[in-house]
Chain A
Amino acid sequence: MPIFYENKQLVTPGDLLAEGDYSVGSNTYKDGNKIYASRLGLVQFEEKTVSVVALNAFYFPSVGDLVIGKIVEVNINGWTVDIDAPYQASLPASDVLNRFKPQRDDLSRIFDVGDLILAKIVNFDRSRDPLLTVRDSGLGKISRGQIVKITPTKIPRVIGRKGSMISMLKMETGCKIIVGQNGLVLVDGEKPEDEGLAIMAIRKIEQEAHTSGLTDRVTEMIRREKEATR
């Protein structure tokens, strides 16, 4: 049962990764007993699973994901939301209002076109567009802060192992940071400089996501920048 690459080596679509008794992880596919890469990324062998951490990918919705979306349309009974995915999501009015009556309630007073919302995906499959909810603590309209857009595959890197990266970011910059699984990150700080710093750090993480020793380098960068502005 040979494997053809070392852990964390860069592979391109079609590269033969392993042969034999392995199971497929993300961004790989199986043909017979051979496992190939389907995206450009870093290969990972964990136990008997072969996966590829993609360097660039689009967001594909999944039930339970926290996403940041933008209202693109106000309909009679809900909203259409752009969640930066291949499909547009919908948020029904009944999710926000307890007794919703289309003839009485003006939906654009709740969320209007252009508003950003924090929402959770409650339903999605091959035949249905994603369905959102804002019925949870902390969800709903975003009224302050800045948005950064990064490649969704790099979200785990922004969070870090057991949340190490994100807690470091929050501590060092003093900003509230909310990470949407769709690659949009909300940064909300006391001062614009703090937000700027956090955004700079997130951009650096995105650029260098496939390198090692990243948390230390980012910490160092933030401290250096803080020194410089003081």
Chain B
Amino acid sequence: MSQSVGKLIDENGLRTDGRKPDELRPIKLSIGVLSNADGSAYIEQGKNKILAAVYGPREVHPRHLALADRALLRCRYHMAPFSVDERKSPAPSRREQELSKVIREALEPTIFLEQYPRTSIDLFVEVLQAHGGTRCAGVTVASLALADAGIPMRDLVVACASGKVGGQIVLDLNDIEDKEGEADVPAAYMPNLDAVTLLQMDGMLTIEEFEEALNLAIEGCRHVYALQKETLRAKYVTIKEEVEIE
């Protein structure tokens, strides 16, 4: 581990991709990118490229899965075979199944599922290119797709990771930092309700370090949240400006 310390953070205190410790990767967001889905969104966060599509609420198939008192939220996180350096088998891996569950559970608290009994809301998160932190980017983009589909939500959900790299607490780990670093703390957060809906940790941190990392992750979430809001509004503000200026 001591070997990589010098590499991950250089003498100027910058990281492998030239970022400061508390700096996010550049993020690009857009909504309504797929015409066949009820709602969709796309994110580019550094080298990550992820598409999300939402269908529903609609009838549940197979029928026996339907719940009498609320809607069923189903989520599929999937990585395209070409999303990583070495071809990934397109069959769902154990890791993808776990991330599907984790993303679903991060979004479940925000949706008014109880308003739509006997239906399902199907969410697809397709990773086109992966470079660390795809579960967080997946949650962020999925919540945008849900809002785009017009599904009632308590709040938008944003996710962002922090971690410990080269002995320092840093924000938004990339692939190299995730693999070589000491710890990774992904967190999903509802900014208006001030509630955390996903919190994981991989690696070793002291309690103080963990608190610092969590606070940093939430700080990062707030930045991403501002972008999310901007993206949702942009589509309609443009139309409004176009026609009202005439």
Q: Which B residues lie within 8 Å of A12 (CB)?
A: 147, 156, 228-229, 232-233
Q: Does A196 contact B (CB under 8 A)?
A: no
Q: Let me know if B68 and A127 touch, CB within 8 A.
A: yes
- Max chain A CB contacts within 10 Å: which of B110, B150, B156? B150
What A residues does B38 contact at CB under 8 A? 58
Do A88 and B59 touch (CB < 8 A)?
A: yes
> With contacts defined as CB atoms under 8 Å apart, how many contacts are there between chain A and chain B in the complex?
90
Contact of B155 among A36, A54, A58, A88 (CB under 8 A): A36
Q: Give which listed residue, B59, B193, B233, B239, contacts A14 with CB less than 8 A.
A: B193
Task: Digitize A18-40: 1 where CB-to-B-CB distance is under 8 Å, 0 elsewhere.
Answer: 00000000010101000010111
Contact, CB under 8 Å: B239 / A56: no
Do the beta carbons of A15 and B152 come within 8 Å of each other?
no
The B interface is mostly helix, strand or loop, or mixed, namely: mixed
Q: Are B156 and A13 in contact (CB under 8 A)?
A: yes
Residue A162 interfacial (CB < 8 Å): no
**Does B154 lie at the interface of the complex (its beta carbon under 8 Å from any beta carbon of A)?**
yes
B148–A56 touching, CB < 8 Å: yes
Contact string against A for B residues 143-176, beta-carbon threshold 8 Å, 1 for contact and 0 otherwise: 0000111101111100000000000000000000
Tell which of B110, B156, B243 has the most Cβ of chain A within 10 Å. Answer: B243
Name B39's closest neighbour in chain A (CB-CB): A56
Q: A86-B57, A86-B116, A88-B59 are in contact. Are A54 and B150 (CB under 8 A)?
A: yes
Chain A nearest CB, measured from B155 CB (Å): 3
Contact flags B49-88 to A (C-beta < 8 A → 1, else 0): 0000000111100000000100000000000000000000
Instruction: Please give the distance in Å from A8's CB to the nearest CB on chain B.
Output: 10
**Interface stretch among A93-101, A110-118, A167-175, A204-212?**
A204-212
A118-141 CB mask vs B (1 if < 8 Å, else 0) is 000000001100000000000000
Given contacts A86-B57, A207-B239, contact A127 B154 (CB under 8 A): no
Q: Which of A29, A36, A39, A210 has a CB less than 8 Å from the CB of B150? A: A39
With both beta carbons as reference points, the residue of chain B lying nearest to A16 in the complex is identified as: B192
Chain A residue contacts of B244, Cβ below 8 A? 211-213
Q: Can you pick out 28 interface pairs between chain A and chain B where the beta carbons lie within 8 Å of each other?
A: A10-B237, A12-B156, A13-B152, A13-B153, A13-B154, A14-B154, A14-B192, A16-B192, A29-B112, A29-B152, A31-B154, A38-B152, A38-B154, A39-B147, A39-B152, A39-B153, A40-B150, A56-B149, A56-B150, A58-B38, A58-B57, A58-B149, A86-B57, A126-B117, A207-B239, A208-B240, A210-B240, A211-B243
3 closest residue pairs by CB, A with B: A14-B155, A57-B150, A86-B57
Binding site for B on A (CB under 8 A): 10, 12-16, 27, 29, 31, 36, 38-40, 54-58, 60, 86-88, 126-127, 151, 153, 207-208, 210-213, 217
Task: Known A-B contacts: A13-B110, A13-B153, A13-B154. Give 11 more (CB < 8 A).
Answer: A12-B232, A13-B152, A29-B154, A38-B152, A54-B150, A55-B150, A56-B148, A56-B149, A58-B149, A86-B57, A210-B236
